[in-house]
Each structure stands twice: as structure tokens, then as C-alpha cells.
Amino acid sequence: MEKEEDSDDTFGGWHPIKDIKDPSLEVLAKFVISEYNKQKNSRLNFETVVSGDELEVAGMKYRLVLNVNDGCNEGTNIYEAEVYVRAWDDYSELIYMKPIN
């Protein structure tokens, strides 16, 4: 019997986000940056979602790679963030966000 290849509907573990251009990801990324700015007294601005993974739990976890700028330096900075979302009660929580460049 041949080993079955991983399918898109396999549960367990992180999976790449299928549509990185989905407008809801931009909304989520802006939430992440807003929360980070509040926590760190920072002034980062969203530019783009570079890539991301998702994990189905009791809700969803997203691990996003984001291009951001601080409004002062030229160019962008790359950050990784993880956020937890429960759609049924409109709850979102920033788990972490850190620079990776």
C-alpha cells in the first residue's frame, strides 16, 4: 500500500495560508500591528503580508511574516507575528511579534 501524500485537509500542525492576498489577512495584520504598537509604545505601520501559516485549534492561530515601516527609516522591516483568533465571539489576541531581519 502506497503512503498517502499530505492533503490540504490534513489536521494537526501548521499549514501555509492558501491565499496570502486575502483581504481578511490584511485586517488581521493591521490588528497585530495596532496591538504591538499599544504594548511597546511603538509607531509601526503595515505595508504587506509576505507569507503565513495557519493552525486550526479551538479557533485559529496565524503565524504571519509582515513588512512594516516605522515612518522614520527608509525601507521596510520584516516582523514575524503569531495571533490567535476565535471567529464565533470576535476575539483576537496577539501572542507575539518580533523583528526577524
Q: Each residue's pLDDT tens digit in the chain (101 positions)?
A: 443 444 445 567 999 999 999 999 999 999 999 999 999 999 999 999 999 999 999 999 999 999 999 877 666 799 999 999 999 999 999 999 999 97
pLDDT at 5: 41
CA angle 72, 92, 28 (to 5 degrees): 45
Q: What is the pLDDT of residue 52?
A: 98
**50: buried, middle or exposed (CB in 10 Å: 19+, 13-18, 0-12)?**
middle
Give 95's DSSP letter.
E
Would you say the pTM of this structure is higher than 0.85? no
Q: Give me the pLDDT at residue 10, please.
A: 52
The predicted pLDDT at position 40 comes to 95
Where along the chain do its domains lie? 19-99
Res 35: pLDDT? 97
pLDDT at 70: 86
CATH 3.40.50.300 applies to domain 19-99: no
Predicted local distance difference test score (pLDDT) of residue 36: 97
